Structure 1
């Protein structure tokens, strides 16, 4: 039986998707009326949105925000996803048991945990951050580092094992559709058939394409035999067009390839585009390489 409470919550939360996928005049008008910046919601953790709710007079948008926050809180991040979490206004990254916000770091582009890490997974040293953000000091730096590393250590995360996830941030933030899909993957809220079936919004959890196995996130974007054929064709196309030999696997497809190589950055961008194409095919037809390459 359908849980109507959860159903209504999910419907309200879908308005957040419309906000991130739309850059039109009505969004600008909404920001003007509500006196908020939509982009700040994605740049900050849940405490920021809760603060917005307290000050919002519009009951509809207050309920939309609260519904979205309820879903986020019920969807815990996996270990690799945590380094893509917000630094600021995040109740799980605290100093003196309070979430933090340091404007000088925000102004210099430090938004996500991964922004504080080097490409090899180590935390940036004080001299490096001081060069980028001259307004910081060692006490502030040490407090921030302790807050972030404590969050990682409580999840038994070893940064050196998470290098693959450090490549996606700058790429997916530049394009709203890619951003939204990668955000859903990182937070495990992609509406796969398995997810929809578990919340009683689909009749079956079986894969849309192969009609055999359960459609999880990993299956949809990589493990499905039909999708794997597409990835093989993409690898061949990359080699033919650019003479770059790259082999995809489940981890690189979902989280990206690590190391500061131009070929890996190129693969990460292509992977985002392919995943967007695969997801769009869920509601149209099976993915085909010729159609994808024509669009590309």
Structure 2
């Protein structure tokens, strides 16, 4: 408990319910801001004690359950060595923060690396940096292309291997060739049917690059 007692409850990615952080203004104004504020003698406060401090309203039981579940999930994620790389923030006047100010402070203090970074490094040996993240918004003004690029970069494009885990697809195999597992790199590049498209693109590119006009535009010497 000592490792967690000073951990901030709100807008904290470590304390999330169904993958989303929480911020309850009436809890904050009632001075419930840290994990330690929910415990007494190492026992989680019962629901009626919370209502005595925060007040009653129709959604209070849901809020209580969500916070209790989020903290319980955090305990389950702890390993034998305790919480790794956990930063503790100490705000003296947290109740005076506006939601936007509070969120910025939390984001700045709890910078985390998205799973996609380790995925592409492991898969392709590619280091994802700030410039690569911005390609999605800088490469095109077309919203659908930006969204496609964003999904690919984050490895959340709905290939069959993802859809199968969600119970939507019947198989993890590629829909087009039915031979290989439908990983994201297979779907967009290695599939034997998709690779034909890339071969045509490559041929067209090199054909264009070999023309006199293109070479002169690039300042390259042209030998007839």
Provide TM-score, normalisation by structure 2: 0.38
Computing the radius of gyration from Cα coordinates, the structure with the larger value is 2
Task: Name the structure where helix makes up a greater proportion of residues.
Answer: 1
Provide TM-score, normalisation by structure 1: 0.30
